[in-house]
Amino acid sequence: MLGRRVAITGMGVIAPCGVGVDAFFDGLCSPAPVGPRTLDDFDPAPWFDNAKAARRADRFSQFAVVAAEEALSQAGELDADPARRGTFIGTGVGGLQTLESQIEVRLERGERRVSPFLVPMMMANAAAATLSMRFGWQGPCENTVTACAAGTHAIGNAARMIADGRCDAVLAGGSEAPFTATAVAGFANMTALSNSGVSRPFDLDRDGFVMAEGAAVLVLEEWDRARARGATIVGEVLGSASTADAHHITAPAPGGTGAINCMRLALDDAGLTADDIVHINAHGTSTDKNDAAEAAAVAKVFGIPGPAITSTKGVTGHALGGAGALEAVAVLLAMRERLIPPTAGHETPDPEIPALDLVVGEPRPWTPGPALSNSFGFGGHNGTLVLGPG
């Protein structure tokens, strides 16, 4: 990435397989559950001053607060000017739960009973705004809404703010709370969801994705400032890229042409070649066309068998706009633990998919090196991060 180096000094996660980065990694290396990945026992109260403050934040904003608090706690005391601290949080659907619940209020009780907090709670930038106000970060406060690529794009966009010299620190990630009756019905009726409730990335018997909720946030800092204050650097954003398939509103381009371009541009941005990449955290949603297109793209860029590849969605399910941020943390934790989590749910190789070096069964020991994290979203959005160890 041209310009200043971008260090990662904090990570925070809230996900059904684990709240907090340590529990999250343990979950990634454990057997996968069956069915939707929801945080059924989540109580936002401990992270807010009072119950009223919690009620005035949509669930996706609540998740972002939890993840950001952990990330900042890990990063330690920052010394950047608040005007040079930015916030960049991606989402796919924003405050959908608030929107649907208030539509029900209007239909059942009338327009005058609709909450005046509907708009500030449902808007897609609400999570970014909440974090900015909560921590007093006065630099750019933005969000990316690029479907399932949003978390990845948000981290890439945030890293460029630091590389370009606009910010010295940025909170970056993604958050999603998509479980409403209408949303689930919509995804089901377009046959995107798994009928079995099992996520099987790249498997012959994959039958759709398993929807999830959750959030992940990173603290990004200018490298030299992070070193100077004695921060523990857990990783580095080496490069990123964003492309569009320009093909179809939901289906990937045949052969993964948009993904191919995205991965190659990300490598160029990082100043690396395909031979430098040791590991790929795949988008790997467990849908027929996505997995086939991504596998073809990886084979085209990296050859066969290529780098060690995993899809953590076998455990996490698919958190839509939060997925890319969760997977970026998964890569960083794989580097920290020197173990690549397996692709849970994968049992039967698909003979129509290239024979990639898919990590299955047990976590695989590795020597950490440059790694990719891929995200591809409805609308033809492609995003790739290149991450390196700290």
Q: Give the mean pLDDT of 337-365.
A: 97
φ, ψ of residue 315 in degrees (nearest 5): -100, -50
Q: Classify residue 41 as exposed, middle or buried by CB count within 10 Å of its CB (0-12, 13-18, 19+).
A: exposed
- Is 141 one of the catalytic residues? no
Among 334, 389, 267, CA closest to 7: 389
Q: Whole-angstrom Cα distance, residue 326 to residue 215?
A: 7
Characterize 42-58 residue by residue with b for buried, 16 or more Cβ atoms within 10 angstroms of its Cβ, and e for exposed.
bebeebbeeeeebeebb
Q: Rounded mean pLDDT of the chain?
A: 97
Does residue 1 register a pLDDT over 90? no
pLDDT in tens, 163-184: 999 999 999 999 999 999 999 9
Q: Is 279 a catalytic residue?
A: no
Q: Is 148 marked active-site?
A: yes
Task: Determine which one of 141, 153, 262, 318 is catalytic.
Answer: 318
- Span 290-301, mean pLDDT? 97
Read off the DSSP letter of residue 191: T
Write the DSSP symbol of residue 252. Answer: P
Whole-model pTM above 0.85? yes
Query: 153, 279, 283, 346: which is the annotated catalytic residue?
Result: 283
Provide mean pLDDT across the span 210-236. Answer: 98
Higher pLDDT, 315 or 2: 315
Cα distance between residue 58 and residue 80, in whole Å: 29
The residues, any chain, with a CB within 8 Å of residue 170's CB and separated by 6 or more, are 85, 86, 87, 88, 139, 140, 158, 159, 161, 162, 219, 220
Mention every residue, 6+ apart, whose C-beta is less than 8 A from residue 350. Answer: 202, 203, 204, 206, 291, 292
pLDDT of residue 191: 94
pLDDT of residue 207: 96
Give CA–CA dist 149/323, Å, rounded. Answer: 8
Q: How confident is the model at residue 221 (pLDDT cuts 50, 70, 90)?
A: very high
The correct answer on CATH 3.30.450.20 for the domain covering 6-389 is: no
Q: For residue 39, what pLDDT band results from cuts at 50, 70 and 90?
A: very high
Catalytic entry in 148, 153, 167, 381: 148
- The domain ranges of the chain are 6-389
